Chain A
């Protein structure tokens, strides 16, 4: 029998008259990284804060590590690590004082791991934005949590710090930690997530395992239509062919290899050059745009 770490059914969250989350179902299994994606205002942070136990749902069932996270916060507090999208530091404390306040101990190694070791005795108000975000992550993982919530952990980080953050997350996953991540960087989700859900206007527009979600979207072939050629002179392909006003041809296909082969054979035989030819499987970005456009994709 499956025993998900997070089990959410028909979750609704309301702020006064505005319903930010309108019936969300989620399941997160032990040891996986689950990415919660969506545009600004889609309800990601509201869902996160409900899972973290910081807010009570207006309706629906929420179970985190087997308990109601809002009512039984005491039962899961020590087992979870939370990195909020936005939270403050006392500006006048030093980095070392802050980590000690969070959990007794020296924490030199944890600070070194995110490149903050040399900033131990610096007051937090003197840290850069990226350094604060890394200190945020240090605090969230200090207690070696079983379940880690990361709400936009890499926003505002330089590429190197982002890589470092990903390394830390991968190490935690390897140790068996379950991670729930929100991010605006789709390539981040694509490289880290096992499963994901895309929220749009308070409901789940897409959900499933990353591979299935990507496979559910058609692949694309695109190229500039050779001069003096009509789009009707192209060979017959299995996918949908769209000739854009820019002169570009865009093919959406579920048979990438076959269609590409047909197309290349035709071009070779008739001596056409397919300028700026691109062929690729769907990326998370394609899925994301489809979800925003209101096309429902639910993979198994």
Chain B
């Protein structure tokens, strides 16, 4: 059932040209831009930005927007009347964005490596950054959709977390201040840096991702709504 829902969601994404362009092309364009602009100065910086923008655009913004518009269309309400449980419905609807984000991130890192970046010395930490970052962005997207009444409003409501993601990442890259790990994005940047041999604090960084994911889940449980009309 999750597969069927996920495939349907992927079809909807592909058949909606604007959403598809945003989800497919935007992160790749940004990724290429980061590689060209910052590649020579330091590949870690470029790759971190690539990973963060993919998590931000493809996972976080796409999930917020699609859950909001599916709720607005009363499609989420319909799915609740079917045979699948709430958890299965939600997983099915968000899964394509999560998988797409992971594939794009891996693709961009691959492009950077092909363009001259080194292969990561600790690929396990890169994998942790991607999976943990995707989980955090996904939980944040579900929660944000709860306070977003229309798909157009998502452009505004996604702002704070999106910039916290990029800003936290840039902070963590540019200073040793451990407080950067308190911001979403700090943990991802720290783990990506450590994957390429940087000092890093992988333990604390992983904890930061876990904590932000937990916050996202708690807020989702409180804020997420299935029906556009009620309450």
Contacts from A to B (Cβ < 8 Å): 15-16, 52, 54-55, 73-74, 77-78, 82, 84, 86-93, 97, 100-104, 139-140, 143
* Neighbouring A residues of B230 by C-beta, 8 Å: 15, 55
CB distance from A99 to the nearest CB of B (A): 11
Most buried by B among A54, A90, A139: A90
Contacts from B to A (Cβ < 8 Å): 4-5, 8, 11-12, 15-16, 70, 73-75, 77-78, 80-83, 85-86, 226-227, 230-231
Asked whether, in the complex, the Cβ of B15 is within 8 Å of the Cβ of A92, the reply is yes
- One of B5, B11, B227 near A92 (C-beta < 8 A): B11
> Apart from A54-B227, A92-B12, A103-B83, what are 13 other A-B pairs with CB-CB below 8 Å?
A15-B231, A74-B85, A78-B83, A87-B74, A88-B74, A88-B75, A88-B77, A90-B8, A90-B70, A90-B75, A92-B11, A93-B8, A97-B11
Asked whether, in the complex, the Cβ of B16 is within 8 Å of the Cβ of A54, the reply is no
Select from chain A the residue with minimum beta-carbon distance to B82.
Answer: A102
CB distance from A169 to the nearest CB of B (A): 18
A77-B83, A101-B4 known; A89 and B12 CB under 8 Å?
no
A15-B231, A74-B85, A78-B83 known; A88 and B78 CB under 8 Å?
yes
Asked whether, in the complex, the Cβ of B74 is within 8 Å of the Cβ of A143, the reply is no
Question: Could you list 13 A-B pairs, sorted by A, with CB under 8 Å?
Answer: A16-B231, A73-B85, A84-B78, A84-B81, A86-B74, A87-B74, A87-B75, A88-B75, A88-B78, A90-B73, A97-B8, A101-B5, A104-B4
Select from chain A the residue with minimum beta-carbon distance to B73.
Answer: A88
Asked whether, in the complex, the Cβ of A100 is within 8 Å of the Cβ of B4, the reply is yes
Select from chain B the residue with minimum beta-carbon distance to A123.
Answer: B15
Asked whether, in the complex, the Cβ of B81 is within 8 Å of the Cβ of A90, the reply is no
Most buried by B among A55, A86, A88: A88
Asked whether, in the complex, the Cβ of B74 is within 8 Å of the Cβ of A54, the reply is no
Select from chain A the residue with minimum beta-carbon distance to B86.
Answer: A73
A97-B8, A100-B4 known; A87 and B78 CB under 8 Å?
yes
CB distance from A253 to the nearest CB of B (A): 46
Q: A104 to B5: give the CA distance in the assembly, Å.
A: 11
Q: A248 to B16: give the CA distance in the assembly, Å.
A: 63
* Neighbouring A residues of B77 by C-beta, 8 Å: 54, 84, 87-88
Q: A177 to B66: give the CA distance in the assembly, Å.
A: 36
Q: A52 to B75: give the CA distance in the assembly, Å.
A: 17
Closest 10 CB pairs of A and B: A88-B74, A88-B73, A82-B81, A92-B15, A87-B78, A88-B75, A87-B74, A101-B8, A87-B77, A90-B12
Select from chain A the residue with minimum beta-carbon distance to B87.
Answer: A74
CB distance from B81 to the nearest CB of A (A): 4
Asked whether, in the complex, the Cβ of A89 is within 8 Å of the Cβ of B78, the reply is yes
* Neighbouring A residues of B86 by C-beta, 8 Å: 73
- One of A86, A93, A103 near B11 (C-beta < 8 A): A93
Q: A4 to B12: give the CA distance in the assembly, Å.
A: 42
Q: A101 to B75: give the CA distance in the assembly, Å.
A: 13
* Neighbouring B residues of A103 by C-beta, 8 Å: 83
Asked whether, in the complex, the Cβ of B81 is within 8 Å of the Cβ of A52, the reply is yes
CB distance from B206 to the nearest CB of A (A): 33
Asked whether, in the complex, the Cβ of B80 is within 8 Å of the Cβ of A54, the reply is yes
Q: A88 to B70: give the CA distance in the assembly, Å.
A: 8
CB distance from B77 to the nearest CB of A (A): 5
Q: A72 to B83: give the CA distance in the assembly, Å.
A: 14
Asked whether, in the complex, the Cβ of B81 is within 8 Å of the Cβ of A93, the reply is no
* Neighbouring B residues of A88 by C-beta, 8 Å: 70, 73-75, 77-78
* Neighbouring A residues of B231 by C-beta, 8 Å: 15-16
* Neighbouring A residues of B82 by C-beta, 8 Å: 77, 102, 139
Q: A186 to B46: give the CA distance in the assembly, Å.
A: 68
- One of A54, A55, A77, A101 near B85 (C-beta < 8 A): A77
Q: A139 to B231: give the CA distance in the assembly, Å.
A: 27
Select from chain A the residue with minimum beta-carbon distance to B229.
Answer: A86
* Neighbouring B residues of A101 by C-beta, 8 Å: 4-5, 8
CB distance from A174 to the nearest CB of B (A): 24
Q: A97 to B12: give the CA distance in the assembly, Å.
A: 11
Q: A78 to B88: give the CA distance in the assembly, Å.
A: 14
* Neighbouring B residues of A93 by C-beta, 8 Å: 8, 11-12
Asked whether, in the complex, the Cβ of B80 is within 8 Å of the Cβ of A92, the reply is no
CB distance from B65 to the nearest CB of A (A): 14
Q: A140 to B78: give the CA distance in the assembly, Å.
A: 10
